[in-house]
Amino acid sequence: MSQSITLKHPTGILEGKIKLPASKSEANRALIIAALSGKESELHNLSEANDTQLLQRLLKSDAETIDAEDAGTVMRFLTAYYAVTGQQKVLTGTARMCQRPIKVLVEALQELGANIEYLGEEGYPPLRMKGFSGNGKNRLKVRSDISSQYISALLMVAPLLPEGLTLELEGKIGSRPYIEMTLSLMEHFGVSANFEGNTITVAHQQYKAASFHVESDWSASSYWYSLVALAKEADITLLGLREKSFQGDSAIVNIMYRLGVHTSFTEEGVKLTKKEHEKYLALDFADCPDLAQTIVALCAGLGITVEMTGLESLRIKETDRIQALQIEVLGMNSSLQEISPGVFRLEPGILTKEELSFRTYQDHRMAMAFAPLALLAPVEIQEPSVVRKSYPRYWEDLEKVGFEIKENE
Ligand SMILES: O=C(O)C1=C[C@@H](OP(=O)(O)O)[C@@H](O)[C@H](O)C1
Ligand SMILES: C=C(OP(=O)(O)O)C(=O)O
């Protein structure tokens, strides 16, 4: 794919049925649990997302050096997996992955008896995994305000530990629904846990073989909600989404109700139609950080002021997402500012440009969140292939509902 594409929509009217990619979060948990169980589990509808394809390949690889690329779940889940299964590996990733912290997880695994060495800067990948003595502690305090992926990684390996594991979560619990998703998947594969207050206990147990069907990705649905909110008229069905979901990003239903999208659940998934939107919103993203970019881009487009909290983890994701958003909304005459510690305010401006252009910072969600603005004016997206991380068919799906996409020289 070329360095940039330009999107236009000739009518602004959207109609169609879209099969979303499957959730990479559910799929990557199911893959790790199936590998830990040592049993033949049937996993259906594994995501075509690169993060999932990559984990599938790496779990089968005999190579000593394992490249987790830019996939946070792959890096964190494999660190715990290789540690507890005593495999000698070097775990690395993209330059950005080597700036994403992993100290909390490494220190926890070391306390459990893992021998892990930093090959670069302390606290960051690459890591050398040197074996597991298995005579460590069975109760740990772990910070839960940096990334929930550390907690999920520890929980999935916990039943293999001779005395199980009790985790005491310290600090604010960020991305909590992802921890709950991990526990639900573990339960699906026969392992019970107890989560009360800030303490999670998992006894020594065996995973059981089970079949599992991965649900469509609610995070990916958010771009379609945004498209409906910006369209002149819309009738869009997203296939394979369920009202009762393991995914916390299903919170998009209630957020988008306020931003002009009505959801009805059908046999096949969800049907999205337009309604009135509110003019001002205050939203907390602590439980659903991956939705923040969608909402910022949409509110800048619709002229809605939004005050946001719970954005702390955005600074250590595929890029510093707060900084990337602050730069990119300027091109729409909007501003995103921290008005008091931890509180960000998006103040939308009037669109004056005939064509909008957005950089994507090697972050799939920057590309997917800003593309729907092509319903207001032609939009150039730089480095469009970034979408492969979670939604490789995004551009094709937009073409199915009438977007014209031109590859630029
Ligand atoms: O466990 C998971 O599948 C994820 C957890 C979240 O990360 P943090 O826990 O780092 O916020 C989320 O942003 C990421 O896309 C997927
Ligand atoms: C943050 C994300 O993924 P990860 O942390 O798994 O790289 C994401 O998909 O938005």
The minimum-distance atom of ligand 2 relative to the CA of 71 is 7
Task: Name the closest-CA residue to atom 7, ligand 2.
Answer: 72
**Helix, coil or strand: residue 272:** strand
Distance CA 386, CA 409 (A): 18
Closest CA to 390 of 368, 371, 370: 368
Mean residue pLDDT of the chain comes to: 97
Ligand 2 centroid, distance to 149 Cα (angstroms): 10
Phi, psi of 256 (to 5 degrees): -75, -20
Phi, psi of 392 (to 5 degrees): -60, -25
- 220 and 203 belong to one structural domain: no
Is pLDDT above 90 for 225? yes
Handedness of CA 301, 302, 307, 311 (dihedral sign): negative
Encoding tokens for residue 258? 């306020």
CATH number at residue 349: 3.65.10.10
This model's pTM is above 0.90: yes
Q: Kindly report the CA angle at 48 between 221 and 14, in degrees rounded to 5?
A: 35
- 251 and 383 belong to one structural domain: yes
25 is annotated as contributing to ligand binding: yes
| Domain finish residue from 213, 234, 249 | 213
Q: Helix axis angle, 72-84 relative to 148-157, nearest 10°?
A: 30
Place of tokens 């594991």: 165
Residue 291's pLDDT band (boundaries 50, 70, 90)?
very high
Q: What percent of the chain has pLDDT over 90?
A: 97
Q: What percent of the chain has pLDDT over 70?
A: 100
Q: What mean pLDDT is predicted for residues 25-48?
A: 96
- 395 and 256 belong to one structural domain: yes
- 199 and 295 belong to one structural domain: no
Q: Quick one: pLDDT at residue 239?
A: 98
Q: In the structure, which protein residues have their CB atom closer than 6 angstroms to any atom of ligand 1?
A: 25, 72-73, 147-149, 152, 174-175, 178, 289-290, 313
Task: List the domain range (segments joined by +) for residue 94.
Answer: 24-213
- 197 and 229 belong to one structural domain: no
- 263 and 394 belong to one structural domain: yes
Task: Name the closest-CA residue to atom 6, ligand 1.
Answer: 175
Ligand 1 centroid, distance to 150 Cα (angstroms): 10
Q: What is the pLDDT of residues 78-118, one digit of tens each?
A: 999 999 999 999 999 999 999 999 999 999 999 999 999 99
147 is annotated as contributing to ligand binding: yes
321 is annotated as contributing to ligand binding: yes
Q: What mean pLDDT is predicted for residues 329-357?
A: 96
- 223 and 207 belong to one structural domain: no
Q: Quick one: pLDDT at residue 28?
A: 98
Q: What is the pLDDT of residues 172-223, one digit of tens each?
A: 999 999 999 999 999 999 999 999 999 999 999 999 999 999 999 999 999 9
Residue 352's pLDDT band (boundaries 50, 70, 90)?
confident
- 10 and 81 belong to one structural domain: no
29 is annotated as contributing to ligand binding: yes
User: How would you list the strands of the sheet with 269-274, edge to edge?
Assistant: 13-19, 233-239, 269-274, 261-265
Residue 360's pLDDT band (boundaries 50, 70, 90)?
very high
The active-site residue out of 67, 70, 249, 290 is 290
Task: Name the closest-CA residue to atom 3, ligand 1.
Answer: 25
| Domain finish residue from 213, 237, 262 | 213
> How many structural domains are present in the chain?
2
- 96 and 180 belong to one structural domain: yes
Is pLDDT above 90 for 134? no
Q: Quick one: pLDDT at residue 170?
A: 98
The verdict on whether 235 is a catalytic residue reads no
